Chains A and B, each alone.
Chain A
Amino acid sequence: SAVISQKPSRDICQRGTSLTIQCQVDSQVTMMFWYRQQPGQSLTLIATANQGSEATYESGFVIDKFPISRPNLTFSTLTVSNMSPEDSSIYLCSFLGLAGADTQYFGPGTRLTVL
């Protein structure tokens, strides 16, 4: 299966600043997703990153707060904008492999703490 990496692995940020998280897959994948896992909680889908077009956001998440880029089939970024302590969470990118594949794989996550 493909290898997926995220940068940074962790960060501590000040309130009001923004952080961009990068996700790189070592092969072309059909679909990429961004999830959030708040402390003690399960994973919540933020958005589907669409290659070459705007991301599709889930209810409760908006582009102004979580802008996403996906310039090609192997790379995506998620920005957490104007951060507050409530944004402290683990952010995970995920992908589906070849067309028709059913299994979703996850990156190692970015642990974000907002002070």
Chain B
Amino acid sequence: RKEVEQDPGPFNVPEGATVAFNCTYSNSASQSFFWYRQDCRKEPKLLMSVYSSGNEDGRFTAQLNRASQYISLLIRDSKLSDSATYLCVVRPSGRRALTFGSGTRLQVQP
């Protein structure tokens, strides 16, 4: 079983749509959780950290369910510029390096 699992997509949505991505992780002792965004042929960049209480940054909302070992990202009012691959990322307990999911590709269409 992979440490971090994501639906690879692609998710093809129209502009203005709301889209949700889910992710599960296998190590129950994992301590930190993130969503990174990776544009084509670019390096990953931090989109947002994910906290147990849930957190929101503009159109983006991230939630963590530790009991189910499940992380989600909700994007509201999708823009063309949101088209990218969204990586679910976990920092396992006792490690400083990150473990990446395989990514979910989003394509927002006009």
Q: Which residues of A are interface residues toward B (Cβ below 8 A)?
A: 31, 33, 41-45, 48, 92, 94, 96, 102-109, 111
Contact = CB atoms under 8 A, between A and B. Distances in A.
A33 B102 CA distance: 19
A110 B54 CA distance: 35
A106 B43 contact: yes
Contact of B96 (A92, A96, A105, A107): A96
Q: How large is the interface on B (under 10, 10 to 19, 20 to 34, 35 or more residues)?
A: 10 to 19
B102 A42 contact: yes
Interface in B77-110: 87, 91, 96-103
Contacts of A108: 42-43
9 contacts: A41-B102, A42-B103, A45-B98, A45-B99, A94-B97, A94-B98, A102-B32, A103-B34, A103-B46
B43 A42 contact: no
B45 interface: yes
A56 to B, nearest CB: 9
Contact of B45 (A41, A43, A48, A106): A106
Task: Report whether over half of chain A's contact residues are helix, strand or loop; otherwise say mixed.
Answer: strand
Interface in B57-87: 87
B42 A42 contact: no
A12 to B, nearest CB: 16
Contacts of B102: 41-42
A44 B89 CA distance: 12
B96 A31 contact: yes
Given A48-B97, A102-B32, A43 B46 contact: no
B55 interface: no
A104 B98 contact: yes
B97 A33 contact: yes
Contacts of A106: 43-45
Contact of B100 (A43, A48, A111): A43
Contact of A102 (B43, B49, B101): B49
A102 B91 CA distance: 9
Contacts of B100: 42-44
